[in-house]
Amino acid sequence: MAKSNKRLSTEEIIALDEKYGAHNYHPLPVVIAKAKGVKVWDPEGREYFDCLSAYSAVNQGHRHPRIVKAMTDQAKRCTLTSRAFHNDMMGRFLQRLCEYTGYEMALPMNTGAEAVETAMKMARRWGVEKKGIENGRQEIIVAEENFHGRTISIISYSTDPDARINYGPYTPGFKVVKYNSPEAIEAAITPNTCAVLLEPIQGEAGVFVPADGYLRAVREICTRHNVLFIADEIQTGFCRTGRKFAVDHEDVRPDAMTLGKALGGGLFPVSAVVAEHDVMGVFTPGSHGSTFGGNPLAAAVGMAALDVLDDEKLADNARKMGEYFRREIAKVKCPKMVQVRGKGLLNAVVFEKGFEAWDVCLALRDAGVLAKQTHGNIIRFAPPLVITRGEMADALKRITRVFKAIK
């Protein structure tokens, strides 16, 4: 029997993962054994800058002391009640979340994919009960290259072959259109359209930032056709892009937002959907739920996570550090690099088509920087929002050295 307290090497830990774990991920060959702030360490004590932040789930930095304290204090008192009873934390958390986002109601879940599923159910039910669509004929418009999770319904409208292969039959009721094209959305709308679901910036697609005015145009189209505009802010939200939410860059207010990742402060899975009463009010007892959704431990963590975002002005820091990162990377002379793009501290470096960025990620690891490629030729850089100017300068020196060595 394996002993959980036995010290294992990086190679031994990876071997255990490979032997006993399903091979549904292809992680970089590095093991994180300790983390604090913007840095992580492997079992051998090697130090790295975390430039992925668990796909933006660690905006407040690893093991932020205020969030850790909120979690441990609550864990000593009450952790789970289910929704069969009220608990003394969920209502306070939902009030705080509604005040933070400016919406009237919130429905708490656990993971981002659960939040998206919740929003889709809400939109379909709204379509029948508020818009008069015949049940079973509701349509939701989504974008190419989207990433909203990995449930059966969500991968049914994915355009990533790896996400879809051999998982049929697929869930009907979705129309996939070109991203960054208001005209494509306008053309796809029918009397049965109940919602448009979009990422304000497509993260998994390689931090693809749409043209200025795209989100405003989507908002206008949805309003004109009486269609819900749902923004998936799971990766882009909570100050990651230099504003509270990515839609704020265009002063757009969606009808609903899906939230997650950094809402849990890097400690606990916490997600939610926020909307106005006339939209979320379609839910009735028994029509949706989650045993763990809104549990008191998640509520305590979520409130502390929001407080840190506000009190430490992390949106401002993300904006400043993101501008600094893009400006410095753009100066690097690298023959294979074609673009650096992003907003705030959600950024990507794009290399020429056909270039395999995996080896660059390995070189970055060896230089003490952890980042991950997507779509083969793109590397995302998204460190925790607590990163200081000095830490960013140090990370940039290491990244620059690796990029300059690319032939």
Q: DSSP strand E in 17-100: where?
A: 34-36, 39-41, 47-50
Which residue of the set 39, 42, 49, 147 is catalytic? 147
Q: Is 261 a catalytic residue?
A: yes
Strand partners, 142: 176
Burial 55-79 (b: 16+ CB within 10 A, else e): bbbbbbbbebeebbebbeebeeeee
Which residue of the set 39, 93, 175, 232 is catalytic? 232
Q: Is 311 a catalytic residue?
A: no
d(CA 216, CA 210): 11
Which residue of the set 175, 261, 343, 372 is catalytic? 261
For β-strands 372-374 and 378-381, DSSP reports them as antiparallel
Angle (deg, nearest 10), helices 314-330 and 389-404: 30
Strand order in the sheet with 34-36: 34-36, 39-41, 47-50, 369-370
CA dihedral (311, 312, 315, 316) positive or negative:
positive
Q: Is 232 a catalytic residue?
A: yes
Q: Rg for the chain (alpha carbons), in Å? A: 21
Q: Which residues are catalytic?
A: 147, 232, 261
